[in-house]
Amino acid sequence: MKKYLAELIGTFIMIFIGTGSIMIDSIHNEIGNIGIGLSFGLSVMSVVYAIGSVSGAHINPAVSIAFWLDKKLMTKDLIPYIFFQIIGGILASTLLFFLLPESKTMGETLVKCDDWKLVFIVEFIITFILMFVILQVSDKSRNLDRFSGIAIGGVVAFAAIFVGPISGASMNPARSIAPAILINDFSYLWIYIVSPILGAVLSVFVYKIIKTKKIL
């Protein structure tokens, strides 16, 4: 149960800080896109170091599915991980809803351009990159644990800064589901569920190809 609770707390922190920065920016207009990207990246980095040794700090259903596919997460843990991640996100969004009622947004991820296909592709690519980095730094044989938070948080930050204005840079179904529930807007939510999962899954297969020592 400790690892499930850790996933709930970790996801809560990431969504509270990340989407909270978007909401505060909508009120005071002082944080900006770079500040929002850093808020997400630094919160993820902090969570990785805080709970990584307890649950692996997935804080993302797409990451959990990818780790399950890579046989680094047991089947019995997959659904609880996803459930507690989503609950953590909903709790964070609910608290922000009451703390910042004057905000014009809940930090929701919405298609910010005319082409939803572009958003799908962008979310797919940045989640692929995120999962690829996660797999590399979590490889015990490479002894990169001390740098894992910096690397993973860095990807989240640059992705949020880079494509945030286009797609919101979700890379995380829980991050998108929570605000959508609070604002009762599920338009294009499927993109932010399907695309990150597919990107993370493909990353596992590419990682396996690169890691194998067999010469084709």
Q: What is the pLDDT of residues 187-210, one digit of tens each?
A: 899 999 999 999 999 999 999 998
Q: According to the model, what pLDDT value does residue 216 have? A: 47
Low pLDDT (below 70) residues in the chain: 141, 143, 213-216
Q: According to the model, what pLDDT value does residue 147 have? A: 87
CA distance 184 to 79: 24
The predicted-structure confidence for 87-97, as pLDDT tens digits, reads as follows 999 999 999 99
If we measure between CA atoms, which residue out of 178, 6, 138 comes closest to residue 80? 6
If we measure between CA atoms, which residue out of 156, 192, 12 comes closest to residue 96? 12
2-211 CATH choice from 3.40.50.720, 3.90.550.10, 1.20.1080.10, 3.50.50.60? 1.20.1080.10
Q: According to the model, what pLDDT value does residue 213 have? A: 59
User: Residue ranges of the alpha helices (H) in the chain?
Assistant: 2-28, 32-55, 61-69, 75-99, 116-137, 148-167, 173-183, 189-211
Tokens 């930090």 sit on residue: 107
Q: Measured on CA atoms in the order 132, 163, 180, 150, is the torsion positive or negative?
A: positive
Q: Is 24 left (phi over 0), alpha (psi -120 to 50) or beta?
A: alpha
Q: According to the model, what pLDDT value does residue 215 have? A: 46
Domain ranges of the chain: 2-211
- The pTM of this model reads 0.93
